Amino acid sequence: QVQLVESGGGLVQAGGSLRLSCAASGRTFSRYSMGWFRQAPGKEREFVAAINWSGGSTYYADSVKGRFIISRDNAKNTVYLQMNSLKPEDTAVYYCAASTGGGPYNYWGQGTQVTVSS
């Protein structure tokens, strides 16, 4: 079983920054593809960003491109989401996810709340 624990959420004013962290259990983290998703009140979960096992490839949703940066530190079994120039529409519960076999994301964290005030 893979356990993922997000942290770093909170309340921030528009234009501010937050850095989310996702700590993963196990010693095979370096082989996981990792992603960040978010879900706003009354909305469906949406993709935010992804990073491959080595950190050499990243992908972002158009809504966050240029503002958010996903990174990973395999030695620390941790993936990060640096969020800059935050907007009220970024308000959501943010979840990290892992793909352990190269297919769909099969493990999910509990989520961390990000609230951006105008």
Q: Which amino acid is at 29?
A: F
Which pLDDT score is estimated for 28? Answer: 80
Q: Which residues pair with 15 in a beta bridge?
A: none
90-109: per-residue pLDDT in tens? Answer: 999 999 999 988 889 999 99
> 26-84 pLDDT, tens per residue?
778 888 999 999 999 999 999 999 999 888 999 999 999 999 999 999 999 999 999 99
CA-based angle 15:35:102, to the nearest 5? 165
Under a CB-based contact definition with an 8 Å cutoff, are residues 68 and 83 in contact? yes
Question: pLDDT at residue 15 above 90?
Answer: yes
Model pLDDT, residue 53: 87
Pairing of strands 10-13, 112-117: parallel
Task: Give yes or no for residue 88 having a pLDDT over 80.
Answer: yes
pLDDT at residue 29 in the model: 83
